[in-house]
Amino acid sequence: MAPAEPQYIRINARDNVAVVVNEGGLPAGTLFASGLELREDIPEAHKVALTHLAEGDAIVRYGEIIGIASRAITRGSWVHEGLMKLPEAPPLSSCPLATAPPPALAPLDGYAFQGYRNPDGTAGTRNILGISTTVQCVAPTVEHAVRRIRAEILPRYPHVDDVVAITHPYGCGVAIDAPGAIIPIRTLRNLALHPNFGGEVLVVSLGCEKLQPARLMAASELPILESEPSYAVLQNAQSGFGEIVANIMMLAEKKIARLNENRRVTCPASDLVVGLQCGGSDALSGVTANPAVGFAADLLVRAGATVMFSEVTEVRDAAHLLTARAATPEVARAFVREMAWYDDYLRQGGADRAANPTPGNKKGGLTNIVEKAMGSIAKAGSSALMAVAGPGERVTQKGLVFAATPASDFICGTLQLAASMNVHIFTTGRGTPYGLAMAPVIKVATNSGLARRWPDLIDIDAGRIATAEKTVEEVGWEIFLTVLDVASGKKKTWADHWGLHNDFALFNPGPVT
């Protein structure tokens, strides 16, 4: 239900702008209970000036400067992109290092889920055969085999959820010794070792590609491939396509038979590795969905889980806040290192962080990347930052972790999977039918209009916070409990219901050849 009364949300006492939350926006002349009167029409989720602003004044939201007024702005006016200049990004050299790590949150005991216990101690939320590939040449062949495995083999193994082919355009035709090549290679390696694959690894190789199986795996992991035949090389086939497919199916069935022995067991919530992401954000993201996810993140951290946030360009403008929150100076320095790497990466490509917001973000009231960043980091809750992982690295630490990834939904999702995410929470304001094959994705709407329009795509409506039907805490608990249910296989996400699974998208900063 939309509120009957005109309403805006101011996040921080220092803010001189607030966000209109009424569905459909509000017309000029609207009078708020505070006495503020709108000078012009303001769309839903867009900003209104709470005070008169002179040219050059700081525009403050979330208690932080999100822009500089490029001309005078009257109280009650619409504060939009045309009136704001982008401030400089916080200089990395002067970021405070672990100056204000929050004290440990009170432990939260007694929460568990039904998961699959893996030999390496991790826990899966699904029981899937993953088929890794070293090069795109083999992708259509593997997909052909997967269709046949689904039709001919899986029905005989009811405890196995699915077969997923990890296909990608990497592996050959790339500068495999270039400085950036480590990123896609370790991403593929860590995807192959994902906790939802139950410790079973199967790799399909062409034979002549640059990314040989022995290069895909680290030396310490090669025994996984070699202990029993765990990889197929197409070019070894002596009698054509039939043999190629039969060989992949034969290897797959051996592993499926073992996976079929797995059963869900009670796992503590600390076995969860929850990845957070937003996509198609609007100005309500930082008011409703992201703070509620932040509350859930704190609950997860209190329960001992790993919570990952990501998206470098969307935290860059909050770097000084996050380095201060780091548990140790080492963690803060690792964070600065990832920011600096990405600054350089963008500069080399002739871009900068301002390239991030989309036309849809702007329509949704997000004026620039600073405002987007301040809303984005609300997802990370309030706990200390315990660790930082590079793109594609596996995350093993508990607590709040920053996994450095691009903000692109599909690349971030792929890299969070590589980091060993077993549940994904995705907030969206504009709406996207996003999903992943390897781990369930819980979609949280920032506004009730979207949740109502897309009832069969959105899992949780955080828009009820804007309409004062629910509090941040209430929706936060709902998200936390939904994570446990989805992780247990008790509740199916809408993306899984429809089988909506985005392709893997690798981050390859190196050149192709």
b/e code 262-282 from CB counts within 10 Å (16+ = b): bebeebbbbbbbbbbbbbbbb
- Selected from 431, 440, 463, 476, the binder of a copy of itself by CB under 8 A is 431
Residue 158 near residue 260, CB atoms below 8 Å: yes
Under the criterion CB under 8 A, does residue 239 sit at the interface with a copy of itself?
Answer: yes
* CA–CA distance, 481 with 233 (Å, rounded to integer): 44
- Selected from 430, 443, 464, 470, the binder of a copy of itself by CB under 8 A is 430
Provide the β-strand partners of residue 114.
266
Under the criterion CB under 8 A, does residue 247 sit at the interface with a copy of itself?
Answer: no
Residue 108 near residue 268, CB atoms below 8 Å: no
The minimum distance between CB 430 and a copy of itself, in angstroms, equals 4
Under the criterion CB under 8 A, does residue 480 sit at the interface with a copy of itself?
Answer: no
The minimum distance between CB 376 and a copy of itself, in angstroms, equals 13
- Which residue, 3 or 349, is less far from a copy of itself as judged by CB? 349
- Which residue, 305 or 319, is less far from a copy of itself as judged by CB? 319
Q: How far is CA 431 from CA 223, 426, 445, 446, 452, in A?
A: 44, 10, 7, 9, 11
Helix axes 409-418, 182-192, angle to 10 degrees: 60
The minimum distance between CB 158 and a copy of itself, in angstroms, equals 24
- Selected from 96, 207, 304, 390, the binder of a copy of itself by CB under 8 A is 207
231-233 sheet: strands from edge to edge: 162-166, 128-133, 202-205, 231-233
Listing DSSP states for 441-460 in one string gives: EEEEESSHHHHHH-TTT-SE
Residue 66 near residue 374, CB atoms below 8 Å: yes
Residue 187 near residue 166, CB atoms below 8 Å: no
Identify the CA nearest to 165 among candidates 187, 119, 197.
197
Under the criterion CB under 8 A, does residue 507 sit at the interface with a copy of itself?
Answer: yes
Stretch that binds a copy of itself, among 153-161, 329-337, 378-386, 403-411 (CB under 8 A): 403-411
Under the criterion CB under 8 A, does residue 176 sit at the interface with a copy of itself?
Answer: yes
Stretch that binds a copy of itself, among 121-129, 253-261, 472-480, 490-498 (CB under 8 A): 490-498
The pair of structure tokens assigned to 66 is: 């999100």
The minimum distance between CB 163 and a copy of itself, in angstroms, equals 17
Residue 416 near residue 190, CB atoms below 8 Å: no
- Selected from 433, 481, 488, 489, the binder of a copy of itself by CB under 8 A is 433
Q: Per CB under 8 A, which of residues 127..156 are in contact with a copy of itself?
A: 136-141, 144
The pair of structure tokens assigned to 348 is: 């080399």
The minimum distance between CB 482 and a copy of itself, in angstroms, equals 19
Binding mask 300-329 for a copy of itself (x = CB under 8 A): -------------x----------------
Q: Per CB under 8 A, which of residues 76..115 are in contact with a copy of itself?
A: none
* CA–CA distance, 496 with 489 (Å, rounded to integer): 11
Under the criterion CB under 8 A, does residue 238 sit at the interface with a copy of itself?
Answer: yes
Q: Per CB under 8 A, which of residues 14..73 are in contact with a copy of itself?
A: none
The minimum distance between CB 188 and a copy of itself, in angstroms, equals 15
- Selected from 74, 235, 266, 468, the binder of a copy of itself by CB under 8 A is 235
